[in-house]
Structure 1
Amino acid sequence: MNLSDVEARLGRDRTVLLTLLVLSLLASLCWAGLVLGGLVLSSQPLAEATATAVTAAAAANGPATGAATTAPSLAYQAAQLALVFLTWAGLCTALMLPLASRATVLFARLAGDRAAQRARRCTALFVLGYLGAWTGFALLAAIAQWTLHESAPSGAVRHPLLLGLIMVAAGVYQWTPAKHACLEHCRAPLPGILAGWRDGLAGALGRGAAHARQCLGCCWLLMLLLLATGPDNPAAIAVVGLFVLAEIRLASGHLIACAGGLALLAMGTRLLFP
């Protein structure tokens, strides 16, 4: 092995190490954001009660005062929706980014083999494409939660029929070929990364988004189960996170997915037919 080969190998190893450090830092920051978001969301009932009292007082004082409070009320709602979105985005990043570490490291090594001088930028764009797809999912989930919740302290959805339908759908989906195809991609991402490989920065961004689509296909209904508790409930996050981790990392992941599907189907049926 000549000197140039050794330097190229060291460059690839530095890229992989830097990638792992950045992923760990991002995940840690998002977990810290989830804790902070939970503390802020837990204070919402008092703020909502205050806003309701102010609105009622304005209505009693006359239309002029009521009109003056319309803009602050809309601003308050927009701020709360933004907070819910940030909580969902932090949740998706904290849960899914560590699970994408294997695919990211594989991509970093491949990018280093093909273009060592651009390996770090390509890897960063791969992660950005991955997070971009999950951010879109977080926005949709935040809108759904904001629309359906009943002012619970955690923003939880309190519609047993809807939650039962989500559980039944998630349970059935755990047995479908689409679920297991996406799960296999997450368990062994190398063939999927190589299949659509394109050199360049745009190709890296597209590969990250494509990998995220497979992960979404595997986990999106499981993530929507958090509508039942709100995205800042640590116990629910732990249950969903450990289940997804077991599916992807354990040797019997496909069997675990099917067993979880049966459990979700049973719980959803119990909610639909109490």
Structure 2
Amino acid sequence: MVAVAALAWTLTAAQARDMGVEPGTMGMAMPLFLALWLAMMVAMMFPSVAPVALTWARGIARRSTGAVRAGRTAAFVCGYLLVWTAFGLVAYGLLALTGDLVHDHPDAGPWIGAGAFALAGLQQLGPLKNICLRHCRSPMLQLMRYAHYRPLARDLRVGLHHGLYCLGCCWGLMILLVPLGVMNVAAMAAVAAVIFLEKLWRHGPALSRVAGVAFLVLAGLCLVEPLQDWLLPGLTTDGTPMGPMEDTDPMDDMRAAA
């Protein structure tokens, strides 16, 4: 899974280099966006979910052959990715909406960014985050319950359930890709690092709360014009902040063209 994640990072970085960071869906149709989103989720989420998949495969199928364990792990991963693919539909809708909004109303960009950071901060500090993060950090009790599921599609179902917990834990962090840019590789790496440390580092819960407070502070800073290039690359066009537009005299434009 780590090797697949490394390959996904390589493909995503290469694609991002060709596309750049722009508002909205960057003209991508939904099928293409979902394919790229899936590669991004593999890159960002596989390092942190790999220990859970390994624990499930070893604990439940310890008497099976390596091929059987690999197949069951693959079913677990498919269920997990189905959840994030479904969330990709939500992400596509949000990006399409915000992209249209900042093009039609440029002064809305900073407010959208502030709202995204504030939402992420509140989610980090909320009770749902704590419940889901506890599961992701210590999934053994839940995995033991899964062992009593009927064998038919059990591994897929386990992956779905764990994916839902993971989504409940991380959706706020993914919302940050709206202002930071869905193809911003540096932002993706930062979000992936926070997710990894939250789930696997012994100080992960404390990090989650610190990140929540930091996001609330950044929400306010999104409204400070000199910082908008840094905080809102996903809400800008050609490097120009989507802030208020200056009025121009049409005669000046005609004279300049002449």
TM-score normalised by the chain length of structure 1: 0.70
Structure exhibiting the larger radius of gyration computed from Cα positions: 1
Mapping for residues 21-40 of structure 1, pairs under 5 Å: 23-40=1-18
Partner of 1:270: 221
Long gaps (5+) in structure 2: 103-107, 226-258
Local SS of the residue matching 2:181? coil
Looking at structure 1, the residues matched to 189 and 46 of structure 2 have their Cα atoms a distance apart, in angstroms, of 15
Given that 1:111 and 1:119 are in contact with CA atoms closer than 8 Å, whether structure 2 keeps it comes out as: no
Match status 1:123 vs 2:101: no
Structure 1 residue identity aligned to 2:129: K
1:104-139 CA-to-partner distances (Å, cap 9, x unmatched) read 011111232365584332221111101111111123
Aligned residues: 216
Match status 1:217 vs 2:164: no
Given that 1:33 and 1:87 are in contact with CA atoms closer than 8 Å, whether structure 2 keeps it comes out as: no
Percent identity, please.
Answer: 29
Partner of 2:235: none
Structure 1 residue identity aligned to 2:161: A
TM-score normalised by the chain length of structure 2: 0.74
Compare relative contact order (CA 8 Å, sep 6+) and give the higher one, 1 or 2.
2
Match status 1:226 vs 2:226: no
Structure 1 residue identity aligned to 2:54: V
Long gaps (5+) in structure 1: 1-22, 49-76, 153-157
Aligned mate of 1:258, from 209, 212, 222: 209
Structure 1 residue identity aligned to 2:49: A
Partner of 1:193: 143
Instruction: Decide whether aligned partners of structure 1 residues 208 and 87 sit closer, same or farther in structure 2, where only a CA change above 3 A counts.
Output: same
Looking at structure 1, the residues matched to 71 and 211 of structure 2 have their Cα atoms a distance apart, in angstroms, of 39
Structure 1 residue identity aligned to 2:133: L
Match status 1:184 vs 2:134: yes
Structure 2 residue identity aligned to 1:177: P
Looking at structure 2, the residues matched to 214 and 151 of structure 1 have their Cα atoms a distance apart, in angstroms, of 31
Match status 1:248 vs 2:196: no
Greater share of helix: 1
Instruction: Decide whether aligned partners of structure 1 residues 178 and 43 sit closer, same or farther in structure 2, where only a CA change above 3 A counts.
Output: closer
Structure 2 residue identity aligned to 1:40: D
CA positional deviation for 1:272: 5.6
Looking at structure 1, the residues matched to 44 and 111 of structure 2 have their Cα atoms a distance apart, in angstroms, of 27
